[in-house]
Amino acid sequence: MAAAGDFEGRSVVITGAGGGLGTALVSLFAERGARVVGCDQSMEALKSAGIASRHVFDLLDKASIETAAQTILDKDGVPDVLINNAGWTRAETLAGLTPEAIERELDLNLAGVMSFADPLVKAMSRRGSGSVVFISSVNALAHFGNPAYAAAKAGINAYAKSIAVELGRSGVRANVVAPGSIRTAAWDHRLARDPKIMDRLKGLYPLGRIVNASEVAEAVAFLASERASGITGVVLPVDAGVTAGYLPFIDDILGG
């Protein structure tokens, strides 16, 4: 895994920097020497002392995306590392989908992410170096709900591979980390609805628990670092084993 000093003097752009995983990413990269350029929807979300430069934009607002990307290039220069972490979902099943929900989730989790990343990735390519890591989801690998979000994240996986293949000769690597459930504030609305949901959730995971944000951040840092210099175009689940197989089948059918 990445270690202290891996990012000394390097510029790292992190979107969704004020969220649960974003906060862990900011802390880890700052501790390891990076100059962190944090992005989120408000300055209030970017309070972390680990952030050296702050930019506010909305992934649903094309104009603010374009402005933010150009401002980052003008003010902070071409990043050495770009971590596309920002994302959101609420349409948890097909029953919850509406045309408006589909459009919103695809725009935010796919179109907005691509629109922001594209100018930065192309600038990396022109310079001749760069590492890009996208935060996707196990929902893009198998169906665990959130159908519009899952479709968007599957698109992110494909986009990362296109960068890896087309820009590899320009010195740009692109990889994906696909977390399973992470115990962050994003689970609060489910816990409020059903306080026992975590106990049931643990039964689905081979490790008997869900992952925490620092575990996901470690995987991101590894793929972003020179330690992973030969790795590009991969989708790495960090999911306590949930995509490896269906544990309840072993427990309830084979072991029953």
Is 3 among the domain residues? no
- Taking 80 as the threshold, does the pLDDT of residue 2 lie above it? no
Total number of domains constituting the chain: 1
Is 99 among the domain residues? yes
SS (H, E, C) 141-167: CCCCCCHHHHHHHHHHHHHHHHHHHHH
Signed CA dihedral, 86, 88, 94, 100: sign only: negative
**CATH of residue 100:** 3.40.50.720
Under DSSP, the state recorded for 187 is: G
* Mean pLDDT of the chain, nearest integer: 95
- Write the pLDDT tens digit of every residue in 12-41: 999 999 999 999 999 999 999 999 999 999
Percent of the chain with pLDDT over 90: 85
Is 2 among the domain residues? no
pLDDT band at 187 (very low <50, low <70, confident <90, very high): confident
Active site (catalytic) residues: 149, 153
Is 106 among the domain residues? yes
Res 1: pLDDT: 47
Backbone angles phi, psi at 41, to 5 degrees: -80, -15
Is 129 among the domain residues? yes
Higher pLDDT, 252 or 64: 64
Is 5 among the domain residues? no
Angle at 239 between CA 231 and CA 133, to 5 degrees: 35
Res 3: pLDDT: 64
- Write the pLDDT tens digit of every residue in 91-125: 889 999 999 999 999 999 999 999 999 999 999 99
Which residue range forms the structural domain that includes residue 154? 11-254
Is 200 among the domain residues? yes
